[in-house]
Amino acid sequence: MIRVRPCNYKDLGEITDMMSAFQREESKIELFKTGRIATRNVVTGLLYGLDSLTLDVFVAEKDEELVGYTLINVKNQGYCGSLVIEEIYIKPKDRGIKIAGKLTRRVILHAISQDINQIYTEVRENNYANLRHNHKMGFLVERRERRGEQYFLVLKKDLVAEKQKAFYSPKTL
């Protein structure tokens, strides 16, 4: 059984390990380089973001083990009034069992509860698995950006229709 919940401070060690693995795979944001000092920097950055209410992290648990996380930015200057999914990571052994979908749905519910109308994410143009996932979740390509030698697609999900569905759902009547 997969359970998604907000992170708590006891999760920071495992989240840092997963962030390190994600960084090696394809991180978009450079929270750290490598080594012990870098690990301390990512924990410091994460604590600062959580304490300043700039970042939120949701974790996925399977059998009481953390198997994934999503890092969201709720105050990104480039996307005023929107929420940005900065990272989503699932441990390789736990991929393919829809954990990313559960994390993304939790982010959508969080955004709706905060009265946010759009969610953005950026994906490397050649990350086909992530692009498929985001398409299934209702994200549409808004633009293509070049950063150095790489291209990223900026994807957007409009939540106005989701809010209307939630408002008119039989559960709310």
pTM as predicted: 0.81
Q: Which residue ranges make up each domain of the chain? A: 2-172
Produce one character per residue of 75-105: b if its CB has 16 or more CB atoms within 10 Å, e if not: ebeebeebbbbbbbbbbeebeeeebbebbbe
Written as tens digits, the pLDDT of the chain (173 aa) is: 899 999 988 888 888 888 877 776 664 444 444 444 444 555 566 666 666 667 889 999 999 899 999 999 887 767 778 899 988 999 999 999 999 999 999 999 999 988 899 999 999 899 898 999 999 999 999 999 998 888 999 999 999 877 776 665 555 43
Given the structure tokens 């795979």, which residue do they identify? 25
- Candidates 3.90.1150.10, 3.40.630.30, 3.30.465.10, 1.10.10.10; correct CATH number of 2-172? 3.40.630.30
Q: CA quadruple 54, 160, 104, 84: dihedral positive or negative? A: negative
Pairing of strands 83-90, 118-124: parallel
